[in-house]
């Protein structure tokens, strides 16, 4: 598919054009071949999808503090043992424990013409319950948090309905999510400030469908705690249309969730011990907890499977490692980052020897590149890898925060990097019942694992570090 003459011509004429960034002289002689071998092996073995399918079958529901999470921990430990990792262990941390309880219900109470019509709903993580029999209230719609803050008086005694859609013009759907997620996180307390009795939030997805998308929320100090739930985008459109038609809509909402005392829990850790510099460490991980609407296949079963698979690939191809590659399946990303905090605290004395921390937590979709905290000099050292991975369409190398679970290592100067898959499909399934193994493409997942393996292998082989 590639014609050297074309590339060569433009490498001279237009040195900054992406497709022609093939200056073989600059790359280590066989790095490209080693990267291609990692990708070919990942695609041929198709192990990453099998690992993920096993997790989704064994521990489909694994919210922090739940029995399902404990099952997932044991699954992770067994996976690492089966893969031949060394020093497999559970590292303790305390995690929050919020339970959904019985299935939520939301229906139209009035006007009578629509009474009994059900709307798809899920409590937000951290919400308080309604009374067991539910609450009934008039609905008042707001375009989002800003609208609520400006015109909130209307919501007094009512159910506030925050209906800000994701901005479809954002090419990067994480940007669209970032612009709208405030209504989910802070909506309850903002609505309570003006006297609302509950809050309903439009699901944070670009699809128009029947899946409510849950996620974490928090209560501000000194404000009454009111029930908070997500409704599907179709339910939001339905509600909005009824209100726009002038109906005085009353809803009945019943949430049965509760917050229990914190629970002891674990990060799952295992290693390939380095042959040359075993005390220098590269961490690779994802988070093992997941919301309970689906099976957490993309968020973040995919990241866990890719972390495991990336080490399997490196060993399968005999690529060392020279340093110790440490796989960490983190606890409680979704609801407090306790696993990430515990890892950084437990290994505080060792962080100076951490060469890299790599996380995958943006779904198991087609990999486009990486984002991270690397400084300019460190980025320059990755240049041969940029070229070596161009064949796989890995062309996005940008600044970013790396990931939530590895974030607590930032203060210690650990270089943090996150895998960046294409974002178009992520919020279709994020925190929803559609986040199941059937919606994970085996080859896209495998390509992400291969890209991670390539990055780990390359950094493992560098003299010096990326600090």
- DSSP structure string for 125-144: BTPPP--TT-EEEEEEEESS
Choose the binding region for a second copy from 64-72, 294-302, 323-331, 419-427 (rule: CB under 8 A). Answer: 419-427
Rule CB under 8 A: is residue 118 a binding residue for a second copy? Answer: no
Q: Please state the closest distance from residue 197 (CB atom) to a second copy, in A.
A: 35
Rule CB under 8 A: is residue 161 a binding residue for a second copy? Answer: no
C-alpha closest to that of 317 among 419, 447, 450, 446: 450
Rule CB under 8 A: is residue 368 a binding residue for a second copy? Answer: yes
Q: Per-residue x/- marks for a second copy, 276-305, CB under 8 A? A: ------------------------------
Rule CB under 8 A: is residue 14 a binding residue for a second copy? Answer: yes
Q: Figure out which of the listed residues 309, 359, 444, 460 binds a second copy, where binding follows CB under 8 A.
A: 444
Rule CB under 8 A: is residue 50 a binding residue for a second copy? Answer: no
Interacting residues with a second copy between 202 and 261 (CB under 8 A)? 206
Centre a 10 Å sphere on the Cβ of residue 250 and count the other Cβ atoms it contains: 17
Q: Is 246 helix (H, G, I), strand (E, B) or coil?
A: coil
Give the separation between CA 309 and CA 286, rounded to whole angstroms: 12
Residue 155 gets which letter from DSSP? G
List of residues 6+ apart from 150 with CB closer than 8 A: none
Q: Figure out which of the listed residues 280, 359, 371, 405 binds a second copy, where binding follows CB under 8 A.
A: 371
- Is the CB of residue 75 less than 8 Å from the CB of residue 54? yes
| Count of residues that bind a second copy according to CB under 8 A | 60
Rule CB under 8 A: is residue 462 a binding residue for a second copy? Answer: no
Closer by beta carbon to a second copy, 11 or else 135: 11
Give the separation between CA 66 and CA 265, rounded to whole angstroms: 9
Rule CB under 8 A: is residue 133 a binding residue for a second copy? Answer: no
The residue to which tokens 């060993």 are assigned? 315
- DSSP structure string for 389-438: HGGGT--EEEE----TTTGGGGGGT--EEEEEE--TTHHHHTTSTT-SGG
**333 catalytic, yes or no?**
yes
Q: Please state the closest distance from residue 455 (CB atom) to a second copy, in A.
A: 14
- DSSP structure string for 448-459: HHHHHHHHHHHH
The angle subtended at Cα 23 by Cα 22 and Cα 28, nearest 5°, is 110
Rule CB under 8 A: is residue 102 a binding residue for a second copy? Answer: no
List of residues 6+ apart from 352 with CB closer than 8 A: 412, 413
Rule CB under 8 A: is residue 399 a binding residue for a second copy? Answer: yes
Name the H helices within 59-129.
Answer: 67-82
Helix (H) or strand (E) holding 65: none
Rule CB under 8 A: is residue 443 a binding residue for a second copy? Answer: yes
Choose the binding region for a second copy from 211-219, 258-266, 352-360, 366-374 (rule: CB under 8 A). Answer: 366-374
Q: Please state the closest distance from residue 184 (CB atom) to a second copy, in A.
A: 21
Rule CB under 8 A: is residue 23 a binding residue for a second copy? Answer: yes
Q: Figure out which of the listed residues 103, 118, 149, 441 binds a second copy, where binding follows CB under 8 A.
A: 441
Rule CB under 8 A: is residue 111 a binding residue for a second copy? Answer: no
Q: Please state the closest distance from residue 398 (CB atom) to a second copy, in A.
A: 5
- Is the CB of residue 412 less than 8 Å from the CB of residue 467? no
Q: Figure out which of the listed residues 182, 224, 393, 413 binds a second copy, where binding follows CB under 8 A.
A: 393
Q: Is 283 helix (H, G, I), strand (E, B) or coil?
A: strand
Give the separation between CA 331 and CA 343, rounded to whole angstroms: 10
Q: Please state the closest distance from residue 74 (CB atom) to a second copy, in A.
A: 29
Closer by beta carbon to a second copy, 39 or else 330: 39
Rule CB under 8 A: is residue 86 a binding residue for a second copy? Answer: no
Q: Please state the closest distance from residue 391 (CB atom) to a second copy, in A.
A: 7
Residue 299 gets which letter from DSSP? I
Sequence length of the chain is: 467
Question: Phi and psi for 128 in degrees, rounded to 5?
Answer: -80, 165
Which among 104, 141, 280, 333 is annotated as catalytic?
A: 333
Closer by beta carbon to a second copy, 227 or else 369: 369
Which structure tokens are listed for 426?
């992520």
Closer by beta carbon to a second copy, 25 or else 153: 25
Cα 97 from chain centre? 19
Interface with a second copy (CB under 8 A): 1-3, 5-6, 9-11, 13-23, 26, 39-41, 43-44, 46, 168-172, 175, 206, 366, 368-369, 371, 376, 379-380, 383, 386-387, 390-393, 395-400, 422, 424-425, 441, 443-444, 447
Question: Which residues are identified as catalytic?
Answer: 333
């Amino acid at each position: 598919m590639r014609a050297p003459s074309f590339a060569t011509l433009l490498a001279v004429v237009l040195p900054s054009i992406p497709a022609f960034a093939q200056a073989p002289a600059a790359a280590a002689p066989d790095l490209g071949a080693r990267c291609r071998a990692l990708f070919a092996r990942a695609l041929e073995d198709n192990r990453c999808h099998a690992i993920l399918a096993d997790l989704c079958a064994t521990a489909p529901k694994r919210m922090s503090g739940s029995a399902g999470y404990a099952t997932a921990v044991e699954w992770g430990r067994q996976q690492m043992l089966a893969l031949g990792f060394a020093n497999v262990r559970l590292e303790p941390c305390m995690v929050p424990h919020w339970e959904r309880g019985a299935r939520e219900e939301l229906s139209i109470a009035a006007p009578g013409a629509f009474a009994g019509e059900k709307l798809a709903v899920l409590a937000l993580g951290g919400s308080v319950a309604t009374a067991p029999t539910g609450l009934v209230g008039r609905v008042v719609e707001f375009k989002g948090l800003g609208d609520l803050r400006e015109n909130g008086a209307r919501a007094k005694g009512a159910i506030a309905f925050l209906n800000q859609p994701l901005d479809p013009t954002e090419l990067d759907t994480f940007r669209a999510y970032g612009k709208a997620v405030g209504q989910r996180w802070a909506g309850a307390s903002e609505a309570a400030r003006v006297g609302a009795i509950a809050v309903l939030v439009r699901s944070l997805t670009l699809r128009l469908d029947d899946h409510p998308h849950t996620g974490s929320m928090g209560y501000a100090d000194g404000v009454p705690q009111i029930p908070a739930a997500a409704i599907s985008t179709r339910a939001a459109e339905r509600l909005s249309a009824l209100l726009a038609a002038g109906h005085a809509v009353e809803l009945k909402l019943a949430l049965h969730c509760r917050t229990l005392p914190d629970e002891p829990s674990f990060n799952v850790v295992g290693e390939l011990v380095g042959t040359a510099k075993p005390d220098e460490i590269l961490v690779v991980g994802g988070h093992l907890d997941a919301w309970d609407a689906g099976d957490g296949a993309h968020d973040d079963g995919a990241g866990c499977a890719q972390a495991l698979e990336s080490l399997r690939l490196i060993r399968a191809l005999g690529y060392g490692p020279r340093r110790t590659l440490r796989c960490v399946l983190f606890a409680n990303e979704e609801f407090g980052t306790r696993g990430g905090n515990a890892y950084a605290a437990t290994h505080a004395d060792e962080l100076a020897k951490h060469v890299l921390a790599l996380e995958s937590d943006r779904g198991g979709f087609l990999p486009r590149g990486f984002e991270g905290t690397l400084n300019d000099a460190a980025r320059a050292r990755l240049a041969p890898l940029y070229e070596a991975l161009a064949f796989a369409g890995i062309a996005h190398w940008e600044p970013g925060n790396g990931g939530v679970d590895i974030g607590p290592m930032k203060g210690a100067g650990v270089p943090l990097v996150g895998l960046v898959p294409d974002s178009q499909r992520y919020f279709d399934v994020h925190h929803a019942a559609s986040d199941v193994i059937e919606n994970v493409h085996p080859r896209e997942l495998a390509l992400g694992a291969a890209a991670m393996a390539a990055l780990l292998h390359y950094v493992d082989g560098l003299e010096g570090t990326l600090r």
